[in-house]
Amino acid sequence: MRNHDRVRIAPGHVPFCDSCKGDSSCSGRLRAVVRCQGCKINLCLDCQKRTHSGVNKRKHPLTPYPPAKAAQENSVTSGESEMEILKAKLEKVCSFLLVDEKEEMQVKDEEDFVNRLGCRPDELLKVVSIFGNTGEGKSHTLNHTFFLGREVFKTSPTQESCTVGVWAAMDPLHWVVVIDTEGLLGAGTNQGQRTRLLLKVLAISDVVIYRTHADRLHDDLFKFLGDASDAYLKHFTRELKATTTRCGLDVPLSTLGPAVIIFHETVHTKLLGSDKPSETAERLLQERFRKLGLFPEAFSSIQYRGTRTYNPPTDFSGLLRSLEQQLDNNTTRSPRSASVIYKALQALSERFSGEISDEHMTSNSFFPDEYFTCSSICLSCGSGCKRSMNHLKEGLDHEAKHRCRYSAQYDNRIYTCKACYEGGKEVIVVPKTTASSDSPWFGLAIYAWSGYVIECPNCAVIYRSRQYWYGNQDPVETVVRTEIQHIWPGSDGFLKDNNNAAQRLLDGVKYISQSVSELSVKPAKAVTSWLTDQIAPAYWKPNSLILKCYKCAEEFQPNDTKHHCRACGEGFCDACSSKTRPVPERGWGLAPVRVCDACFHNRGIPTELLDAALEEEGGTLIARKVGEAVQNTLGAVVGAIDIPLGLVKDAARPAYWVPDQDIHSCCECQREFTARLSIHHCRACGQGVCDDCSQERRPVPSRGWDHPVRICNGCSQKPGEL
């Protein structure tokens, strides 16, 4: 009962004759006038006279049918009631936007899709979609073929396209999801994405209507179908099979592509094949495909349905009959639930999405490979990746169409151990400063004497660049094989300058200096504060009593510098004591000295206070001036040392490290670097990170760091050896 719908015959129904196929003057079979209860067949008047005249009435009892007039009246009454029921169902049908022009799904999930269609979740459906150039009347065709002329899909007499994106509606009579698409050759942006969207709709369809209103079939029709067939087999078959597996269907969605019906409407010219009775229209279509060098192998069938419109309206009855024949055929495409249809379209949208650049287009096809393949281009040779879009989400690496070439800029030549290769293994080796068994400092000494090394995990050290006083051979000729690999955007597999001896030396010196400074910072601060208090004027507040800024009340940290206002003697931070002016009333002469913001504006001091201060502070002020001169001299010396140290650090930077001047914020937490937030480099990726985001220490053999070194949080979470 589920697969064979049954309709109760209304009273007065007259069946066709079972014994004849009608005479030559009639286009169909004749209606029966009697039924033989013995033979169990229906007979028209001619067949009754020919086979059942004068027979035994007991053996062949005949039961007459009602007169044709009564039958016609009953059929008219029944037809009118069915038409009213159908119209009532279609009144509730409306279309909805399924996918917009940017290839973004406008339906939230499977449940929302079922609700918008207005069907049951377990109802088995098929999909019919329509394609064609803009302005050919695609929406009008769907409205009159499936919905009795109701404007379910919007039509418009204006020049602008009335259909943008993909729209869908449910036909409750045939249980079909009807999909209206945007026209080809229309004016608009993102033409590549809009064209790719058409093929996604074609891939989930069971029957495709190609609507053309031209007097003759143009080549763009055949080219569109031919290119669509190639793209379907090349890019969509695998994804549809994966969807079939996920949904648990018995019949794969991609066993064969949809059936195609070319609906051709002419006015002044004859229909295809009408002037060649010996050849069918389908045969002529295949011949036209062959002449153009196109082979639409993906489609299960290609059928021609033409109509010649002398006077409007257009007759869509022939198209409807062809559609019903295709929908009843379940041998190649079986119906499925609405959730399966939604999952298939969603899977294709997720896989083939993103902007399409016309920069690297290599063909004038309707569906070039660039619409469906990865857009990454090798930085060394310019070859594109041949895998499908978004393949990195599945853990698949890039794969190029052609072999790569060596680039000195990227140094994309890798070494493999020759001995391991001859033994059936492929082990990648990298030149580096020291062997993994050498300590950091001893390894640097060996590097200075014997040069860089190449170490294999299986064969230990297989090469040293200065192993002999003379006659050292190139490693390519002796111990390693070379292979050129592609450089993909965003990858850090190369730029491996593993001769990082200078940076290792700087790291060691910096580690020692930091250790000494960390151990001595508190005693040094204490001694400095004590000496400052000893030579400070009497009106200055002692450093030990200054815990926060006198103006902004911000507490001083251990490494913060405290400043004294030369006018009032209170302690301030650098921001609240940035101004200078002469303070002769305190004995500082006419030279500008540091004062706080309040004293910079308030210069009025009583005369008696000035005299007492000058008598009391005459000697101590000289000591303070001498102290400041010494401190400024030491600061200049430290600055002179810092400048060349920065130059040495930049020169010692490995090639894959991002330069300090290009680093503005931490690549992990995005905090901006300041004087208090130092820049550190991850030894694995070379990005700039802060100290909090680079607490992990691990060896990075691929970069030449065999001992635990600083790495960022992102690299620390990567499995395996770095």
Q: Is residue 1 part of a domain?
A: yes
pLDDT (0 to 100) of residue 637: 44
pLDDT confidence tier of residue 535, bands split at 50, 70 and 90: low
pLDDT at 82 over 90: no
Instruction: Specify the higher pLDDT residue, 719 or 246.
Output: 719
Backbone angles phi, psi at 244, to 5 degrees: -60, -45
3-state secondary structure of 331: coil
Of 90, 112, 145, the last residue of a domain is 90
Closest alpha carbon to 560 in 547, 569, 551? 547
Q: Is 368 among the domain residues? A: no
Are residue 195 and residue 258 in the same domain, yes or no? yes
- Over the chain, what is the mean pLDDT? 76
- One domain, residues 438 and 549: no
One domain, residues 50 and 81 = yes
> 687 is written with which tokens?
């990005």
Q: Model confidence at 529, in pLDDT bands (50, 70, 90)? A: low
Q: Could you report the per-residue pLDDT of 317-353, keeping only the tens digit for each?
A: 899 999 988 988 877 778 888 998 998 888 888 888 7
**Closest by Cα among 419, 344, 458 to 110:** 344
**Run of H or E residues at 601:** helix 597-601
- Higher-scoring residue by pLDDT: 22, 161: 161
If asked whether residues 117 and 28 sit together in one domain, one would say no
pLDDT top residue among 104 and 641 = 104
| pLDDT > 90? residue 177 | yes
Q: Does residue 243 surpass a pLDDT of 80?
A: no
- The token pair that represents 56 in the structure block: 């035994």
- Give dist(CA 340, CA 346) in Å, integer: 10
Q: Which CATH number characterizes residue 218's domain? A: 3.40.50.300
CA distances to 521, 635, 640 from 514, rounded to whole Å, are 10, 19, 19
Say how far apart CA 699 and CA 618 lie, in whole Å: 62
User: pLDDT-derived band of residue 511, with 50, 70 and 90 as boundaries?
Assistant: very low
Residues 454-482 have pLDDT tens digits of 888 888 888 877 766 656 666 776 788 88
Mean pLDDT of 187-192: 68
pLDDT, residue 222, reads 92
Distance CA 672, CA 388 (A): 38
Q: Is the pLDDT of residue 416 over 80?
A: yes
| CATH number of the domain where residue 10 is located | 4.10.830
Cα–Cα distance, 167 to 175 (Å, whole number): 17
* Last-in-domain residue among 64, 90, 116: 90
**Residue 692 CB coordination number (10 Å):** 13
Which residues have C-beta within 8 Å of that of residue 682, sequence separation ≥ 6?
A: 689, 694, 710, 711, 712, 714, 715
Cα–Cα distance for residue pair 687/227, rounded to 1 Å: 45
pLDDT at 605: 52
C-alpha–C-alpha distance, residues 341 and 126, integer Å: 9
Residue 465's φ and ψ, nearest 5 degrees, are -70, -30
How many percent of the chain have pLDDT more than 70? 70
pLDDT above 50: residue 513: no
Q: Given this model, what pLDDT does residue 613 score?
A: 45
Statement: the pTM of the whole predicted model exceeds 0.85: no
Q: Is 533 exposed, middle or buried (0-12, 13-18, 19+ CB in 10 A)?
A: middle
Assess whether pLDDT exceeds 50 at residue 399: yes
**Strand (E) positions, 326-470?**
413-417, 428-429, 431-432, 453-456, 460-464
- Residues 175, 203, single domain; the answer is yes
- The radius of gyration of the chain from alpha carbons, rounded to an integer in Å, stands at 44
Q: What does the block give as tokens for 215?
A: 């007097």
Residues 559 and 549 in one domain: yes
Could you tell me if 140 and 42 lie in one domain? no
Residues 163 and 136: their CA atoms lie apart, in Å, by: 12
Q: Which two tokens stand for residue 264?
A: 């051709």
Which of 81-85, 280-284, 538-542 is predicted with the least confidence, judged by mean pLDDT?
Answer: 81-85
pLDDT band at 584 (very low <50, low <70, confident <90, very high): confident
Please state whether the peptide bond connecting residue 67 to the residue before it is cis, i.e. omega within 30 degrees of 0: no
Same domain, 463 and 537: no
- 266 close to 275: Cβ distance less than 8 angstroms: no
152 secondary structure, DSSP code: S
- Please say if the pLDDT value at position 116 is more than 70: yes
Tell me how many domains the chain contains: 5
Residues 204/239, Cβ–Cβ less than 8 Å:
no
What distance in Å separates the CA atoms of residue 419 and residue 456, rounded to the nearest whole number? 10
Which of the two residues, 404 and 255, has the higher pLDDT score?
Answer: 404
Q: Mean pLDDT, to the nearest integer, of 115-134?
A: 90
Domain that holds residue 698: 660-716
Give domain status of residue 508, yes or no.
no
Q: If pLDDT is split at 50, 70 and 90, which confidence band does 376 have?
A: confident
Domain presence at residue 685 = yes
Whether residue 459 lies inside any domain: the answer is: yes
Q: Same domain for 630 and 690?
A: no
Nearest to 697 by CA among 715, 685, 671, 674: 715
Residue 495 lies in a domain: no
Quick one: 79 and 171 in the same domain? no
Amino acid 107 reads V
Is the pLDDT higher at 4 or at 151?
Answer: 151
- For residue 431, pLDDT over 80 is answered with no
- Same domain for 302 and 450, yes or no, is no
- pLDDT of 305: 93
CA distances from 317 to 4, 146, 307, 560 (A): 24, 10, 10, 90
What's the pLDDT at 545?
Answer: 82
Most confident of the following: 32-36, 192-196, 322-326, 483-487: 322-326
Predicted pLDDT of residue 168: 94
Which of 623, 651, 679 is at the close of a domain? 651
| Residue 394, in any domain of the structure | no
b/e sequence 463-493, b meaning 16+ C-beta within 10 Å: bbeeeeeeeeeebeeebbbeeebbbbeeeee
Sheet with 428-429, edge to edge strand ranges: 428-429, 413-417, 480-484
Q: Domain check: are 117 and 265 in the same one?
A: yes
**Amino acid residing at 377:** I
**526: number of CA atoms within 13 Å, CB side?**
5
Q: Is residue 360 part of a domain?
A: no
Of 324 and 391, the one with more pLDDT: 324
Average pLDDT over residues 392-396: 71
pLDDT tens digits along 587-634: 777 778 888 888 888 765 545 544 544 444 444 444 445 455 445 544
